[in-house]
């Protein structure tokens, strides 16, 4: 099991990004959360199998391609702290 922390940059707030990410996470079967950051970026933390996380990221990239101008990924081992995927405020 893996964990990824991603910071998405670009026109990612106010465009349904968090809802898109949450739906993609549920479809991929991963757990974690997504939230807006005060600097205009969106942060996502997801845990699951590596293939599941890759599917999540590809789904987000495809759906929000015109909005994402950069992303920073940090991979690590899963901590097992999530039971579901949620949108945080």
Out of 23, 35, 36, 89, which one is annotated catalytic? 36
Burial class of 28 by CB neighbour count within 10 A (0 to 12, 13 to 18, 19+): buried
Residues 6 or more apart whose CB falls under 8 angstroms from that of 53 comprise: 2, 4, 28, 30, 46, 47
Is 79 catalytic? The answer is no
Out of 3, 11, 18, 23, which one is annotated catalytic? 18
Is 11 catalytic? The answer is no
- Give the position of tokens 């990410």: 21
Q: Which of the residues are catalytic?
A: 18, 36
């Amino acid at each position: 099991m893996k964990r990824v922390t991603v910071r998405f940059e670009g026109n990612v707030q106010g465009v349904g990004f968090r809802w898109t990410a949450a739906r993609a996470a549920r479809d991929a079967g991963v757990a974690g959360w997504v939230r807006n950051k005060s600097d205009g970026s969106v942060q996502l933390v997801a845990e699951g199998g590596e293939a599941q996380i890759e599917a999540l990221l590809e789904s987000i990239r495809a759906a929000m391609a015109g909005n994402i101008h950069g992303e920073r990924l940090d991979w690590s081992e899963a901590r097992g702290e999530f039971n579901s995927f949620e949108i945080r405020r």
